[in-house]
Amino acid sequence: MNMINKDHEGTWENCLNVIKDNISAQAFKTWFTPIIPVKIENSTLTIQVPSHFFYEWLEEHYINLLSRVIKKEIGSEGTLEYSILMESNHKNAIPYTVKLPTQNNNSIRNSPVSIPLNNGEKQIRNPFIIPGLKKINIESNLMPQFTLDNFVEGECNRLARASGYAIANKPGGTAFNPLLIYGGVGLGKTHLANAIGIAIKEKQPNKTVLYVQSEKFAHQFIDAIKNQTTNDFVHFYQMIDVLIIDDVQFFAGKEKTQDVFFSIFNHLHQNGKQIVLTSDKAPVELQGMEQRLLSRFKWGLSADLSVPDLETRIAVLHKKMHGSGIELPKEVVEYLAYSINTNIREIEGALNTLLAQASLNKKAITLELAKQMVDKFVKNTAREVSIEYIQKVVCDYFDLPIEMLKSKTRKREVVQARQISMYFSKKMTKSSLANIGAHCGGKDHATVLHACRTVVNLSETDKQFKVYLEDLEKKLTLQ
């Protein structure tokens, strides 16, 4: 008997010590000093509270804190039972048994009276909400248009996309935790990270999914420090089942933010919650990031998004076009796909500009218009034609299939088209000789150099050849 008594009192005292550090002295005095620990049995701690209202207040405001301290003191099986003193008959306390929330899913063990439980989210200040406003559910902040269905698959994103699907089916339950999606601007990091969140929400609506940009996270943290609500801040993030943080490179050099993120990360990871991160750099290149955080990033999977290949670019254009309900002529789509090879955002931007201009000016979208628009509105990138575009124009001109350029064929007309493509690629792009060679069936830089010299020589000696070159140059030059 003594043993048991000492146990529950000692346990409750330990709980109080933690609780004391997490709430104001006034709140502690009001809501916790009146509590009397009654017993501990089978991992269930029973505490006596003075009234039903008191019980409700604790549930509404302190359930998460209680949950954490109970689990810490008793273990993951730990539950809390309230014994409520009835106002009329103090001797006849009715025990209400309350299982502490696990994974955001509160349930009540068989008890004589069932009491609806709060979600446990109310008592924590939600950093997304203007103070004073009450918020029950946590908004995901997901962007509905960025779905997995809308995310075109290509060589450039296969691994990242596949891991996204895996996570969507089993958040927290795959080896991809955290998933770090990295790649340059406009390659689809935000889209994919969002899409994972949307897919999880669709399959498991009761999961708390949160998308947040790291900049916002950092600002919320600073505000929390100012307002002395860092505990709330941390607790809020610890409640999330699927935390998606976009552009974590922003944390570089911000030690305090990294520290707080580290502790949130550990809590979530230990509890089997899913973490999805994006970064514009590979983990090894993330300067100014604490080593312990970097090593955590590597626990799961780092998947890169690379520059989209031609097929993906065309597929993206088709997808977006169908989405807008406007069909563009094939040559325009090809032109866009061939000439904008930096990232998908640029492709999208060019397409949108084109559609907008066309509808404003009521002009048909011709290749001519496309060229003008791209030249005017798309960043410098479009001013430089791509190797692929050059190859296409040259092949169209000589009526050859583009695959021939990349083959080993030594047929005269193919060799000539290949050499001309190399010549224009050297002249009009910033590509290295090696890269140009790689685009022409894996030739080395010496072969490219030789091709360029041959073209120059021929244009000086062969009139017909010179005409070809001038024609092609006109076609390739954007006006």
Query: Does 187 participate in binding ligand ADP (rule CB under 6 A)?
Result: yes
Question: Minimum Å distance from CB 347 to ligand ADP?
Answer: 8
Question: Minimum Å distance from CB 192 to ligand ADP?
Answer: 7
Tokens 């010590």 belong to which residue?
A: 17
Among 157, 177, 341, 447, interactor with ligand ADP by CB under 6 A:
157
Q: Pick the piece of the chain touching ligand ADP (CB under 6 A) from 81-89, 183-191, 201-209, 223-231.
A: 183-191
Query: Does 163 participate in binding ligand ADP (rule CB under 6 A)?
Result: no
Query: Does 313 participate in binding ligand ADP (rule CB under 6 A)?
Result: no
Query: Does 190 participate in binding ligand ADP (rule CB under 6 A)?
Result: yes
Q: How many residues of this chain interact with ligand ADP, rule: CB under 6 A?
A: 18
Report CA dihedral (70, 19, 237, 273) to the nearest 10 degrees: -10
Are 432 and 397 within 8 A, CB to CB? no
Question: Minimum Å distance from CB 169 to ligand ADP?
Answer: 19
Question: Minimum Å distance from CB 297 to ligand ADP?
Answer: 17
3 state DSSP class of 411:
coil
Tokens 């954490």 belong to which residue?
A: 68
Q: Pick the piece of the chain touching ligand ADP (CB under 6 A) from 37-45, 79-87, 149-157, 397-405.
A: 149-157
Among 120, 164, 172, 188, interactor with ligand ADP by CB under 6 A:
188
Among 38, 152, 248, 436, interactor with ligand ADP by CB under 6 A:
152
Are 373 and 350 within 8 A, CB to CB? yes
Distance CA(386)–CA(337), nearest Å, equals: 10
- Chain centre distance of CA 62: 31
Report CA dihedral (326, 331, 332, 335) to the nearest 10 degrees: 140
Peptide bond into 205 cis (omega under 30): no
**Residue 157 near which of Mg ion, ligand ADP, none (CB within 5-8 Å, type-dependent):** ligand ADP
Site track 34-73 with Mg ion (rule: CB under 5 A), x = hit? ----------------------------------------
Nearer to ligand ADP, 158 or 406 (CB): 158
Q: Check residue 92 and report its DSSP letter.
A: -
Phi then psi for residue 431, to 5 deg, are -65, 150
**Residue 151 near which of Mg ion, ligand ADP, none (CB within 5-8 Å, type-dependent):** ligand ADP
Query: Does 300 participate in binding ligand ADP (rule CB under 6 A)?
Result: no
Are 317 and 336 within 8 A, CB to CB? yes
**Residue 437 near which of ligand ADP, Mg ion, none (CB within 5-8 Å, type-dependent):** none
Instruction: Write out the binding residues for ligand ADP, residues 333-352 only, by CB under 6 A.
Output: 344-345, 348
3 state DSSP class of 279:
strand
Indicate the residue whose CB is closest to ligand ADP: 188
Query: Does 4 participate in binding ligand ADP (rule CB under 6 A)?
Result: no
Q: Check residue 178 and report its DSSP letter.
A: S
3 state DSSP class of 420:
helix
Reading the block at residue 272, the tokens are 């089997």
Among 82, 151, 261, 265, interactor with ligand ADP by CB under 6 A:
151
Nearer to ligand ADP, 62 or 338 (CB): 338
Q: Check residue 86 and report its DSSP letter.
A: P
CA angle at residue 328 from 186 to 436, to 5 degrees? 55
In Å, what is the CA distance from 225 to each residue of 21, 134, 228, 234, 266?
16, 21, 5, 11, 20
**Residue 32 near which of ligand ADP, Mg ion, none (CB within 5-8 Å, type-dependent):** none
Question: Minimum Å distance from CB 42 to ligand ADP?
Answer: 50
Question: Minimum Å distance from CB 355 to ligand ADP?
Answer: 14
Query: Does 190 participate in binding Mg ion (rule CB under 5 A)?
Result: yes
Q: How many CB atoms lie within 10 A of CB 197?
A: 29
Q: Pick the piece of the chain touching Mg ion (CB under 5 A) from 1-9, 183-191, 204-212, 393-401.
A: 183-191
Q: Pick the piece of the chain touching Mg ion (CB under 5 A) from 185-193, 355-363, 369-377, 381-389.
A: 185-193
Helix axis angle, 412-428 to 463-476, nearest 10°: 50
Nearer to ligand ADP, 14 or 381 (CB): 381
Q: Pick the piece of the chain touching Mg ion (CB under 5 A) from 20-28, 153-161, 182-190, 377-385.
A: 182-190
Q: Where does residue 374 rank: exposed (0-12), middle (13-18), buried (19+ CB within 10 A)?
A: buried
Helices (H), 340-386: 344-361, 367-377
Are 85 and 93 within 8 A, CB to CB? yes
Q: Which amino acid is at 193?
A: A
Nearer to ligand ADP, 14 or 249 (CB): 249
Reading the block at residue 428, the tokens are 């009009």
Nearer to ligand ADP, 58 or 344 (CB): 344
Q: Which residues bind Mg ion (CB under 5 A)?
A: 189-190
Q: Which residues bind ligand ADP (CB under 6 A)?
A: 146, 150-152, 157, 183, 185-191, 316, 319, 344-345, 348
